Structure 1
Amino acid sequence: MIGMVYLSTGDRAHQLHAARILPSTQTASRNPESVSSRVVLEPARSRAVLVGADRYEEFPNLPGAMEQVLVLARALGQAQDSGPFDDANVSIFWNQHSPEPLVRSLEDLFQRAEHTLLVHFTGHLLETPNDAFLAFPNSRGDRPAATALSVRRLVSLMEDSPARFKVLILDAYLADADRVWSLLNPRSMRGYWSLLTAPPRASSGRG
């Protein structure tokens, strides 16, 4: 198991479960002693990238979201010799104002991942008939393609990474979970996992 993190959001508590990532020729042992001694990830050759926003001009703010991501970053990093990634290989991009500079940074980090690439997004998701977009503070509901990051584009960037295992987690409310899930269906990636961590809700026109 990569880990289990409890994220408190007011009167709710979310459990984020991440299952073990093993080569296809291996199977997870049921012996706790062998699990603890087995190297599951290669920390120096893996990258965790946490992206999100909690302040928005057009959409409701998300109080507490940044604190949750910091908890996750600490759990993933090995600052205390307990996380599955080297602490220096856990990156956070928070409240980015424009998607393009972020995309350039993501491209660079994704190419550095050789074993495992984990990407986690917390924030509003703008849904359109043909795509969904990660929203940032300046994102506009009427101009998502120009002001937010396409999920299709994000998946494409992950496809280009040399990482052997790829995990994408979207922690966002969804109006049409099935359609968004279809965007995450990998076309050519092996060892690719997707996880939507929030239940769908009735559409209100907001991400």
Structure 2
Amino acid sequence: MTRFPETARSRAVLIGTSRFPKAPELPSIPAVAANLNALRQVLTDPAAGTITPELCQVVSDPADMQRLGPILSNTIREATDVLLVYYAGHGLLDDKGRLYLSLAETEPSLLRYTALPLDTLREELASSPAAIRILILDCCFSGRAIEAMGDEQGLIIGQLEVAGTYTLTSTTANAPSHAPSGEPYTAFTGALLQALRQSEPQTLDAIYQRVAQSLAARGLPRPQRRALNTAGDLALARGPASAASSSPAHDEVRLRPDTATAARNRRQPMAIGGVGTLFFGWIFTEALRAGWANWSDWLSWLVSLLLGIPVLLFLWLFGAALFASERNVATLVLNSAEISFGRGLGGVRVPWTDISHVGLMRWSVHNRVRQPHQERLTVLAVRLRAEAPVPKTSTGLSKAHRELGYVGICTLGAIGADRRSVLTALECFAGPRLVRTPREFLHIDPRLSPDMV
């Protein structure tokens, strides 16, 4: 009988390493970022997913175990029903035949200190309180196997046997092509996504069979499976997925408030403009009256009003028309080149190449407003790379944020959006730059304090 994960008690951590600057002999794998985003979308899909978005951690290009370790350890400890650990990247063997998963700063000559030892991962998985543990590895293994090892393939598979864990892996002694030309995902993860997106729920055993058939049909190595003391009748997706997780990436995404929200957003500046008009009108008329001090008081007032009121009324009507115009409706635009926000004559535009990471942060006055308004005041923020130019405008972030290189693009209230819709839009374009939760922000940038995210 097919069963699904209990969402509140289940966890997933998706790890991917696409670049290896300290190991030039390891080719980069650009498709890893797409692997992570697409797999997360399927697992957390509102209609078909089985994992709560906040409980599905994505760790893209972790530099070392100092960053990856706490996230991995916390996720493994918190899961009490289903635990899913996924890794995409390069696997390496040391001269004693021990397996390691490469990280961004892995050095092949220092695997023990710069990579994730599979022995460590096995011990963590074995200690997890989760009822079902799933390990998915999308990597090939290479390295210096000593003569006494015997069959390298048997050696690798033997190390992948983790008690109580369902293991699905693309592991093979022969390195397959990670990302066939013209395809967005690696071969193994592409087949895995296709299996998860079936119209009917697919159990782990059924997923393995579909992935194996798909890869065999393309002449690629058959994946491996180890199911020790675990049930293969668990399903990771309910099927069918919503359009958000099954459709290809958009060319452009625009987020803007609906008519009612846009009208509400315009009322405040128009009201402030009206008060300002009255204030400056009083100053203007007083200045005119002072110029005619030799006239009688009533006559100077009359002339001042006749001259001042039409001018000020024209200015206020012009400002009101500008705020009410379609051009002044706040719009957030995301595409493959940049992230931009515009309203009226102002706005901010930041190319993705200038962005280190992007996510949602607290507004500088977040804790001083009532709970119903806090999400509206959440800020879409980007952390700029060191060499990137700083935009002239920044919305909502404190001086402490700006000193750390963060720039506020807009508040969610300005575009009439909620957290989920903004994060879903960012997933289409941000790739590994996307930070989804406050906890991820704190791990990526230890300089941040909890009240800043």
Normalising by structure 1, what TM-score? 0.73
In structure 2, how many angstroms separate the alpha carbons of the residues matched to 1:177 and 1:81?
39
SS in 2 for 1:143: helix
Query: Given residue 51 of structure 1, which amino acid in structure 2 is its aligned partner?
Result: I
Query: Given residue 50 of structure 2, which amino acid in structure 1 is its aligned partner?
Result: P
RMSD: 1.8
Cα deviation code 1:59-102 (max 9, x no counterpart): 21002111122111111114x23111111111111111111331
SS in 1 for 2:141: coil
In structure 1, how many angstroms separate the alpha carbons of the residues matched to 2:67 and 2:31?
25
Cα deviation code 1:4-37 (max 9, x no counterpart): xxxxxxxxxxxxxxxxxxxxxxxx3xxxxxx5xx
Q: State the Cα distance separating 1:131 from its structure 2 match.
A: 1.3
SS in 1 for 2:112: helix
In structure 2, how many angstroms separate the alpha carbons of the residues matched to 1:161 and 1:93?
19
Q: State the Cα distance separating 1:56 from its structure 2 match.
A: 0.9
2:8 pairs with 1:73 = no
Q: Point out the more displaced range, 41-50 or 172-181.
A: 172-181
Q: Who is 1:195 aligned against?
A: 168
In structure 1, how many angstroms separate the alpha carbons of the residues matched to 2:137 and 2:58?
15
Q: Who is 2:28 aligned against?
A: 61
Q: Point out the more displaced range, 175-184 or 144-153.
A: 175-184
SS in 1 for 2:87: strand
Q: State the Cα distance separating 1:198 from its structure 2 match.
A: 4.6
Alignment of 1:1-207 (within 5 A): 28=1, 39-57=3-21, 58=23, 59-78=26-45, 80-128=46-94, 129-175=96-142, 176-186=152-162, 189-190=163-164, 192-201=165-174
Q: State the Cα distance separating 1:130 from its structure 2 match.
A: 3.5
* Alignment coverage as a number of residue pairs: 163
Cα deviation code 1:163-193 (max 9, x no counterpart): 000011110012433222211212xx33x11
Task: Using CA pairs under 8 Å that are at least 6 residues apart, name the structure with larger relative contact order, 1 or 2.
Answer: 1
Cα deviation code 1:102-142 (max 9, x no counterpart): 11221111111000001000001111223111101210111
Give the number of the structure whose alpha-carbon radius of gyration is greater: 2
- Unpaired segments of 5 or more residues in structure 1? 1-27, 29-34, 203-207
Identity %: 24
SS in 2 for 1:169: strand
Structure 1 runs of 4+ with >3 Å offset: none
Normalising by structure 2, what TM-score? 0.35
Q: Point out the more displaced range, 142-151 or 39-48.
A: 39-48
In structure 1, how many angstroms separate the alpha carbons of the residues matched to 2:171 and 2:161?
17
Q: Say which structure is richer in helix.
A: 2
In structure 2, how many angstroms separate the alpha carbons of the residues matched to 1:130 and 1:199?
14
Q: Say which structure is richer in strand.
A: 1
